[in-house]
Chain A
Amino acid sequence: MDAQKQLQARSEEFQALQTELEVLVDARQKLESQQQENEGVQTEFAQLDDESNIYKLVGPVLLKQDKSEATMAVNGRLEFIEKEIKRIEGEISATQEKSEKMRSELIQLQSQAQQQAAAASASE
């Protein structure tokens, strides 16, 4: 019975870890799409001549912006996104490692519980 309880607690922990992993992967995907969008803007800016007018949407209004300013903003964003992706990837691999460990633990507990159940039914 003890093994059963332990097994349940452990598998709940494992589930929690899995959802955590899912959230992280989602965040990673979101960052990736943001990165792609920003890269598109960056290449677009690179093709523009210096006197083209660039506007930035702030709330409901368009504000005129310098090309250098806009390029800097996009570059800064890309840098930030890159860092975020690295950070999240680190977290993902750490969580994966943890869940891998927990999985093998769970399998062990499961076989233990099965053995106990078998022993209990044999002694009856």
Chain B
Amino acid sequence: MSQNTDGAPQGSINLASLSVPQLRALQTRLTSELEHLTTSHTKLRAAQAKFRDCVRSINDGVTGNAKKGTDGRDEILVPLTSSLYVKGRLTDREKVLVDVGTGFYVEKTAPKAVAFYDEKVKGLDANLQELEKIVQTKSSQLRIVEETLRQKMLSEGAPQAAAG
């Protein structure tokens, strides 16, 4: 696919008309943009995993899961630090406190909390899909720029080599 058959929008420039340094600058810019987008992607994925963990914790730990043997048993190990636990007892298996952002916590029933987290996961999914689309167009742009740059270098290198 060449850049001319792309159905390029108005106001776009023909890449072949750019000089080698200009193409190089474009390449570095696209690369750094792509890097930024991929890190955002990873961060979004991590956030999504965290919310999914919350849902799992509620289902297994708070509501209780008969299959996993957590149903009807109130004993729990509470982490005080990442390596220190104390025994505890669940006194309320109905309600949980959910961090809704900016330091506010809201008391919710377990199903409502699960719905809240599911909503968050869904929202992140939409964001991820949008981001993936952008990453795809950017990387195809980068490929085209790199290809043009390579051709330029080859065609510019040839006469010099012939002259020298």
A53, B107: Cβ atoms closer than 8 Å: yes
Binds B, one of A14-22, A40-48, A86-94, A99-107: A40-48
A80 to chain B: closest CB distance in Å? 13
Determine whether A74 belongs to the interface, using a CB cutoff of 8 Å to chain B: yes
B106, A40: Cβ atoms closer than 8 Å: no
CA distance A52 to B95 in the complex (A): 11
* Chain A contacts to B: CB under 8 angstroms: 34, 37-38, 40-41, 44-45, 48, 52-58, 62, 65, 70, 74, 77
CA distance A61 to B103 in the complex (A): 11
Determine whether B100 belongs to the interface, using a CB cutoff of 8 Å to chain A: yes
B101, A38: Cβ atoms closer than 8 Å: yes
Determine whether B158 belongs to the interface, using a CB cutoff of 8 Å to chain A: no
B104, A56: Cβ atoms closer than 8 Å: yes
Cβ–Cβ < 8 Å partners of B106 in chain A: 44, 48, 52-55
A56, B105: Cβ atoms closer than 8 Å: yes
B104, A54: Cβ atoms closer than 8 Å: yes
Residue of B97, B102, B107, B116 touching A38 (CB-CB under 8 A): B102
**A54 closest partner in B (C-beta):** B106
Cβ–Cβ < 8 Å partners of B101 in chain A: 37-38, 40-41, 44
**A58 closest partner in B (C-beta):** B103
Interchain pairs with CB closer than 8 A, number? 45
A44 to chain B: closest CB distance in Å? 5
Residue of A38, A40, A57 touching B105 (CB-CB under 8 A): A57
Can you list 25 A-B contacts with CB-CB less than 8 angstroms, sorted by A residue number? A34-B102, A37-B102, A38-B101, A38-B102, A41-B102, A44-B100, A44-B106, A44-B116, A45-B100, A52-B108, A53-B106, A53-B107, A54-B104, A54-B107, A55-B97, A55-B104, A55-B105, A55-B107, A57-B103, A57-B104, A57-B105, A58-B103, A62-B105, A74-B102, A74-B104
Cβ–Cβ < 8 Å partners of A38 in chain B: 101-102
B107, A41: Cβ atoms closer than 8 Å: no
**Interface membership of chain B positions 108-149, coded 1 if the CB is closer than 8 angstroms to chain A and 0 otherwise:** 100000001000000000000000000000000000000000
Cβ–Cβ < 8 Å partners of A77 in chain B: 102
Cβ–Cβ < 8 Å partners of A45 in chain B: 100
**A67 closest partner in B (C-beta):** B106
**A48 closest partner in B (C-beta):** B106
B26-59 at interface with A (beta carbon < 8 Å): none
CA distance A40 to B113 in the complex (A): 15
Cβ–Cβ < 8 Å partners of B105 in chain A: 54-57, 62
